[in-house]
Amino acid sequence: MSADVIIEDDRWAAVELDALAERAVSATLGHLGLVADDWDIAVLAADDARISVLNEGFRGKAQATNVLSWPSAERGAAQEGARPDLPEGDPELGDLALAYETCAREAEMGGIAFRDHVTHLIVHGTLHLLGYDHVRDGDGDLMEAVEIVILKELGIADPYSGVGFGDVGKD
C-alpha cells in the first residue's frame, strides 16, 4: 500500500504524517480483509484556506472542514446499513485532504491528542473511499461502529463516547 502524502503546510511535518497515514490506512484496510500493499491512497496535508477552496469547489461549501475524500469509484451499498462491496481491480482508492487548523482546534477542544484525532480522520476518510458514508442513519451507524473497532485496534479511545470530535461523521 502506498499512502502518498503531499505536505502543503509545514506544520504537518511535526506529526510524522507519512507514518501516521500508513498506520491508519493499513489498519483500516486490514480490518476489512484487504491486503494493504495492494491499494493506493493520496493524502493532502493542507491548511484551512486550501481546504475551504477545495470544499467549495467540490461540495459547494465555502468553509474549512477536517477531512475531505474523493473516492476513485462509487462503492456505496445500495441498501441502508449494509456493508459496501470490497473494491476490485484498479488499486487507486482515491484521495484525502486534511486541514491543519481545523484538526488542531478540534483536538484541543475535545482534549484529544492531535495524532489520535488525525488518525481517526484518516480512518474516517479511508472508509469513505471504500464506500462507507453517513448520509443515511443506518450507514452512519455502521461507519461509526467500524471506526470505533479500528481505532480500538490502534489503541485509540472511542471518539463517539462523548468526547468532542468536531464534525467527524456529521458532514
**Comparing 24-28, 161-165, 167-171, which segment has the lowest mean pLDDT?**
167-171
Which residues make beta-bridge pairs with 5?
43
Could you give the percent of the chain with pLDDT greater than 70?
94
Domain boundaries, the chain: 2-74+86-153
Segment 6-65, tens digit of pLDDT: 999 999 999 999 999 999 999 999 999 999 999 999 999 999 999 999 999 999 999 999
**What's residue 170's pLDDT?**
41
Give the pLDDT of residue 164: 43
Q: Which of 108, 125, 107, 124 is nearest to 116 (CA)?
A: 107
If you ran DSSP here, which 8-state letter would residue 46 be given? E
Mean pLDDT of 147-165: 85
List the strands of the sheet with 92-99, edge to edge: 2-7, 40-46, 92-99, 67-71
On average, the pLDDT of the chain sits at 93
- Give me the residue label for grid cell 491548511: 47
Is pLDDT larger for residue 162 or for residue 35?
A: 35
Q: Is 87 exposed, middle or buried (0-12, 13-18, 19+ CB in 10 A)?
A: buried
Q: What is the pLDDT of residue 65?
A: 96
Q: Is the CATH code 3.40.390.30 the one for domain 2-74+86-153?
A: yes
Let me know: does 44 contact 98? Beta carbons within 8 Å.
Answer: yes
